[in-house]
């Protein structure tokens, strides 16, 4: 390896990289961390993943060259994200002890999400290490497109993100939509922002998974003979599952099964109850299935055997699920007003719609379901679109950023 970067600490305070996406506070960031860490390690960069311990502190080798460190901060057990800032100093102290022990030398601290940043920026300054920040989601970006009834992100988060953007040596964004928000709303210096889109595991998410259609439907209780439309994401107002339900309710004729994959984030349980009530009110209670979080294999098989994937989020910095669905050959429908404009290629991997009007979404859905030829064409080109993105490319680009910051 010629970059000179040998070891990186990647920090995810609020959620363990090993947590199942779609449960708790785990989502695309968790998938991204694990995949990127594995690719970095394959290129000779040792990666330590640092997270808050919910039980006893531990260190576990989870892949060749990748070690997960669960560090003490606050009481045992899961904590709401709203309480985690209280324990950020303690978490930072645990990180400082680990990184400053002297037997291992680190080249970079890379914080993921704002909570990780406020906890470990002081550590980077103390140890004289370059500090890289990935936000994944931005408070200002979310507040601009706030879901009805959802609470705005707290001022502490918004101010912290502005501070971190000014202090970081480099900021990694997943899309140009995120870059625009970083510069215009967060005040990030343009020269510090690097765009590195996420990748997709094309072997796991593959059209060949369609062969398991009967078994995955049986496992998940989805009867055969009806098209399945899937929505993937933690159940919370931001993800907009209510729009998907209203769109299915607006369809005429035979209704598809709407499979909602993901569990409520802590505190969002009432939102899931409201979704169930909405489906019942629209007369499609039996057509909407809440599947909870799925493991990666089951998700890949479900996506491959579905007719369409919907991404009705109010705001996305990129939308990893759009790539995963496209890689299986399943077209995606999303909104033109978010970072999905880069993860969904309109007319190639799916459709980008101009509004959040359920009737518009229903028309887009029925237009594809009633046109098998068009659906088949999109299926083929969707896979080709997804193949443009790989975790190997993302890791190689990240090493380039690290190398530009490394201090001798």
Per-residue pLDDT, averaged over 335-349, amounts to 91
Question: Is the pLDDT confidence value at 407 over 80?
Answer: no
Per-residue pLDDT, averaged over 269-274, amounts to 96
Nearest-CA neighbor of 149 among 233, 79, 240? 240
Per-residue pLDDT, averaged over 349-361, amounts to 96
Residue 3 burial class via C-beta count within 10 angstroms: exposed 0-12, middle 13-18, buried 19 and up: middle
Cβ neighbours for 273, distance < 8 A, ≥ 6 positions apart: none
Nearest-angstrom CA–CA distance, 294 and 331: 20
Residue 92: domain span: 7-199+390-405
Radius of gyration in angstroms for the set of CA atoms belonging to the chain, rounded to a whole number? 21
Residues 185, 79 share a domain: yes
Residues 297, 228 share a domain: yes
Residues 83, 194 share a domain: yes
Query: Under DSSP, is residue 337 helix (H, G, I), strand (E, B) or coil?
Result: coil
Assign 343 a pLDDT band (cuts: 50, 70, 90). very high
Per-residue pLDDT of 97-138, as tens digits, reads 999 987 889 999 999 999 999 999 999 999 999 999 999 999
Residues 180, 215 share a domain: no
Residues 170, 69 share a domain: yes
Residues 274, 178 share a domain: no
Nearest-angstrom CA–CA distance, 376 and 384: 13
Question: Is the pLDDT confidence value at 72 over 60?
Answer: yes
Do residues 316 and 147 touch, judged by C-beta distance below 8 A? no
Residues 162, 128 share a domain: yes
Counting residues of the chain whose pLDDT is more than 90, the rounded percentage is 84
Which segments of 53-122 are extended strands (E)? 58-63, 66-71, 108-112
1 in a domain, yes or no? Answer: no
pTM of the entire structure?
A: 0.93
Assign 2 a pLDDT band (cuts: 50, 70, 90). low
What's the mean per-residue pLDDT of the chain? Answer: 94
Per-residue pLDDT, averaged over 161-176, amounts to 97
Do residues 72 and 96 touch, judged by C-beta distance below 8 A? no
Query: Under DSSP, is residue 145 helix (H, G, I), strand (E, B) or coil?
Result: coil
2 in a domain, yes or no? Answer: no
User: What pLDDT, on the 0 to 100 scale, is given for residue 1?
Assistant: 45
Tokens 């970067």, residue located: 5
Q: How many domains does the chain have?
A: 2
Dump the DSSP string for 277-316: HHHHHTT-TTTEEEEE---HHHHHHHHHH-SEEEE--S--
Run of H or E including 8: strand 7-11
Q: What is the DSSP letter of 20?
A: P
- Taking the chain, what is the end-to-end CA distance rounded to the nearest angstrom? 16
Please give the torsion angle defined by the CA atoms of residues 309, 312, 316 and 319, in that order, rounded to the nearest 10 degrees.
Answer: 0
Nearest-angstrom CA–CA distance, 48 and 171: 19
Residues 276, 394 share a domain: no
229 in a domain, yes or no? Answer: yes
125 in a domain, yes or no? Answer: yes
Residues 189, 102 share a domain: yes
Run of H or E including 171: strand 170-173
Residues 195, 229 share a domain: no
Angle between the N-to-C axes of helices 269-281 and 241-249, in degrees from 0 to 180, rounded to the nearest 10: 10
Residues 216, 193 share a domain: no
User: What pLDDT, on the 0 to 100 scale, is given for residue 408?
Assistant: 63
Query: Under DSSP, is residue 87 helix (H, G, I), strand (E, B) or coil?
Result: helix
Question: Is the pLDDT confidence value at 221 over 60?
Answer: yes
User: What pLDDT, on the 0 to 100 scale, is given for residue 3?
Assistant: 79
Question: Is the pLDDT confidence value at 338 over 80?
Answer: no
User: What pLDDT, on the 0 to 100 scale, is given for residue 151?
Assistant: 87
Assign 350 a pLDDT band (cuts: 50, 70, 90). very high
Residues 37, 178 share a domain: yes
Per-residue pLDDT of 240-255, as tens digits, reads 999 999 999 999 887 8
Q: Say which CATH number the domain at 324 has.
A: 3.40.50.2000
Which segments of 149-214 are extended strands (E)? 170-173, 193-195
Nearest-angstrom CA–CA distance, 140 and 154: 10
């Amino acid at each position: 390896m010629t970059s000179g970067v040998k070891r990186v600490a990647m920090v995810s305070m609020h959620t363990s990289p090993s947590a199942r996406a779609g449960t708790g506070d785990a989502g695309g960031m968790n998938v991204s961390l694990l995949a990127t860490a594995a690719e970095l390690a394959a290129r000779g960069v040792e990666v330590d993943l640092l997270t808050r311990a919910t039980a006893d502190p531990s260190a576990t080798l989870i892949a060749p060259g990748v070690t997960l460190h669960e560090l003490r901060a606050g009481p045992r057990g899961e904590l709401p994200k709203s309480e985690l800032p209280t324990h950020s100093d303690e978490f930072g102290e645990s990180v400082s002890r680990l990184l400053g022990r002297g037997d291992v030398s680190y080249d970079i601290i890379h914080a993921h999400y704002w909570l990780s940043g406020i906890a470990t920026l002081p550590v980077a300054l103390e140890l004289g290490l370059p500090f890289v920040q990935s936000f994944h989601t931005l408070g200002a970006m979310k507040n601009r497109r706030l879901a009805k009834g959802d609470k705005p992100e707290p001022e502490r988060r918004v101010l912290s993100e502005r501070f971190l953007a000014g202090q970081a040596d480099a900021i990694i964004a997943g899309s140009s939509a995120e870059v625009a928000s970083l510069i215009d709303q967060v005040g990030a210096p343009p020269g510090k922002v690097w765009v590195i889109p996420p990748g997709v595991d094309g072997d796991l998410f593959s059209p060949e998974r369609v062969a398991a259609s009967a078994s995955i439907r049986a496992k998940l209780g989805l009867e055969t003979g009806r098209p399945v439309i899937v929505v993937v994401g933690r159940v919370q107002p931001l993800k907009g599952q209510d729009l998907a339900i209203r769109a299915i309710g607006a369809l005429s004729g035979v209704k598809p099964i709407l499979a909602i994959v993901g569990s409520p984030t802590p505190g969002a349980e009432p939102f899931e109850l409201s979704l169930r009530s909405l489906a019942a009110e629209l007369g499609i209670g039996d057509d909407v299935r809440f599947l909870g979080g799925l493991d990666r294999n089951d998700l890949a098989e479900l996506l491959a055997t579905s007719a369409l994937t919907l991404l009705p989020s109010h705001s996305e910095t990129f939308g990893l699920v759009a790539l995963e669905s496209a890689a299986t050959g399943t077209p995606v429908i999303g909104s033109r007003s978010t970072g999905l404009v880069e993860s969904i290629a309109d007319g190639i991997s799916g459709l980008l719609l101009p509004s959040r009007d359920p009737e518009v979404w229903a028309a887009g859905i029925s237009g594809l379901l009633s046109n098998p030829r068009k659906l088949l064409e999109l299926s083929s080109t969707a896979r080709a679109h997804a193949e443009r993105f790989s975790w190997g490319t993302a890791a190689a680009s990240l090493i380039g950023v690290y190398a530009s910051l490394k201090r001798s």
